Amino acid sequence: MEQVVERRPRESRFTALYEANYHRVLGYARRRSNAEDASDIAADTFTVAWRRLDEVPAGEGALLWLYGTARRVLANHRRAQRRRANLVDALEAERLTAARAADAGEAHRVGAALAQLRDEERELLLLIAWEGLDAAGIAAVVGCSRNAARIRVHRARRHFARALAATDGEPIRESRGPSAARGGTTANLGLEERP
């Protein structure tokens, strides 16, 4: 009976964590994998959260911790997928569906530019565009300082701007993102350079 009393606060905390954040973690996974795999990634993330519940911070930090865990679960999942087959084309197609609101030409340009980035740079930009994180949130998810996150994001945006300009055959603009003048999809995704 003593064991039951000790588990109730733990179960209550996990239930609250799950109910408040499951849809966000599932959304994170869906935007980076297919629908079937996304459910597995979310489930594995919360399995880790249950096992390591004492390490999960309280408040807003819990979601960032879950994003960081989901990121690692996803990395493990992708490594397993690569062993079975090369699914790069399927992953890129899934990423392009996130740009439904934009016209197909712009979505293709953005997807082509994102595909030219290193995985780490693409992930930083997608954390901004899809998850709405700022430098502090990115730092918590990626596991670096805020300043390092800002520097990495700045470099990723600069590389994205160059890749996007290359898809158009435009000269490279260093000052602001290429969509700043056009107000295109990159502005909607939050990928434009900020002063």
Domains and CATH numbers, the chain: 1-86 (1.10.1740.10), 88-195 (no CATH)
Residue 177 reports pLDDT greater than 90: no
Task: Output the 3-class SS for 35-100.
Answer: HHHHHHHHHHHHHHHHHCHHHCCCCCHHHHHHHHHHHHHHHHHHHHHHHHCCCHHHHHHHHHHCCC
Q: Is 52 exposed, middle or buried (0-12, 13-18, 19+ CB in 10 A)?
A: exposed
Rounded CA-CA distance 54/87 in Å is 36
Does the pLDDT value for residue 183 go beyond 50? no
Strand, coil or helix: what is 169?
coil
Return the higher-pLDDT residue of 11 and 190.
11
Residues 136 and 146 sit within 8 Å (Cβ to Cβ): yes
Q: How far apart are CA 66 and CA 52, in angstroms?
A: 11
pTM of structure: 0.56
Q: pLDDT tens for residues 65-111?
A: 999 999 999 998 888 777 665 544 544 556 555 545 455 667 788 88
Give pLDDT, residue 7.
Answer: 56
Of 24-28, 49-53, 79-83, 154-158, which range is least confident? 79-83
Span 33-49, mean pLDDT? 92
Compute the distance between CA of residue 118 and CA of residue 89 in angstroms, rounded to an integer: 15
pLDDT bucket at 53, cuts 50 / 70 / 90: very high
Q: Give the pLDDT confidence score for residue 138 in this predicted structure.
A: 92
Euclidean distance between CA atoms 162 and 169, whole angstroms: 10
Q: For residues 45-74, give the mean pLDDT.
A: 92
Q: Is the dihedral of CA 41, 77, 66, 98 positive or negative?
A: negative
- Could you read off the pLDDT of 6-16 as tens digits, one per residue? 558 889 999 99
